[in-house]
A and B are shown apart, each in its own frame.
Chain A
Amino acid sequence: MSQDAILVVDDEKNIRLALGQALKPLGRPVLTALSGEEALEMLHDPGIGVMILDYRLPGIDGMAVLERASRERPDVAVIMITAYGSVERAVEAMKLGAVDFIAKPFAPEEIRDLVSRVSNREALTEADARDYRGRLELAKQAIRRRNFAAALDHARKAVGLDPYRAEGFNLVGALHEILHDREEALRNYRLAVEVDPAYAPAQTNLERLVSRRGQGGIAWDDDAGEKGR
């Protein structure tokens, strides 16, 4: 059975409308849920392959929905919607296999690209990983499968292919943090900031880890702040 359908979970009407409109050109069925409860009910539908989920929901919040979905429907890829600049519990989301984040507001093309990338990721193999992007995608595929050691290996290889981009270093840092190696995490966040001081997620991660006070998650946003866009 094909898993073409996309489930949008947001209590804000304008976000549901914006996503519906942006996703229309993909020609895939788009379902919407206004609450976490409704989303979990709808996830019984085996046709759903991607869920776009807001962290903030009335009732059961996005993290709780993700937690249950990761147990009941581990085959569904989840994209978390975040508020701009926030790093809302990203480490927890990552531990539950959610590796994609999109900040509000987003451009229609961005969300379409992301949904396509997420949908194609499962089928990726080593042969697809000749370049930086491909390696990062394989790292994310491994995180989705909760294989953090394999993810770290891919992320390191990505960095080896292009040591002038911040996202790879930030990802290596985040994976070290998940694997409880604070020193290596710090070192890689620093390298990320060094190659691109404008890459906000790494800056946030570094500050949080240095201060050691932060309760926030690991900032690791695909697109936010990367240069050359």
Chain B
Amino acid sequence: MAKSLFIVIVGCGRLGSHLANGLSAQGHGVVVIDLRPEAFAALDAQFSGFKLVGDAVESEVLRQARLDQADLLLAVAEEDNVNLMVAQVGQKVFAVPRVMARVADPAREEAYRQFGIQTVCPTTLAGEALLATLGRSGEARR
């Protein structure tokens, strides 16, 4: 990502804050939304974006975050349903060019894909990583 993007991140938990810190450090414009003001404590002192307290399920909150101007939406809230809904609204209502969502339940990944939303599933990723590690240690023993 060479060009500076305007990015809206929904959820400032462990993943959301990590993404917000990293993308801000890379020089992108960032708005991070969370229901709980205390969630923003996880942001670095160098974080150069905006913090917005609100429920991202309400489109007014997304409008306030200037989602209409965003190049990228990252839906990484705690709940899969919230992420799915926010991602869909971002795509259909705000016409965000690129929408990505975290989904905890591998069974729901297919639903996201049908809506044309890119997903990352930590469960699947961790499972694959563990299996790969097991595979390697298995080979090493032989």
Contacts and interface: CB of A to CB of B under 8 A. Distances in A.
Contacts of A85: 64
Contacts, number: 46
B31 A105 contact: yes
Interface stretch (A16-24, A87-95, A125-133, A187-195): A16-24
Interface string B37-62: 00000000111111110000000000
Contact of A21 (B48, B66, B69, B70): B48
Given A84-B64, A229-B68, A229-B69, A108 B50 contact: no
A219 to B, nearest CB: 16
B6 interface: yes
B13 interface: no
A162 interface: no
Contact of B50 (A18, A20, A229): A18
A72 interface: no
Contact of A17 (B46, B66, B68, B70): B46
Nearest to B29: A108
A110 B51 contact: no
A164 interface: no
B-side interface size class: 10 to 19
Nearest to B71: A107
A109 B27 contact: no
B34 to A, nearest CB: 14
A104 B27 CA distance: 18
Given A21-B27, A108-B6, A14 B50 contact: yes
A-side interface size class: 10 to 19
A84 B70 CA distance: 17
B69 A109 contact: yes
* Central interface residue in A25, A84, A107, A108, by most chain B CB within 10 Å: A107
Interface in A35-67: none
A107 B51 contact: no
B48 A107 contact: no
A14 B48 contact: yes
B64 A22 contact: no
Interface of B: 4, 6, 27, 29, 31, 45-52, 64-66, 68-70
List the 3 closest A-B pairs by CB distance, nearest first: A17-B48, A105-B50, A107-B69
Interface of A: 13-15, 17-18, 20-22, 25, 84-85, 104-110, 229
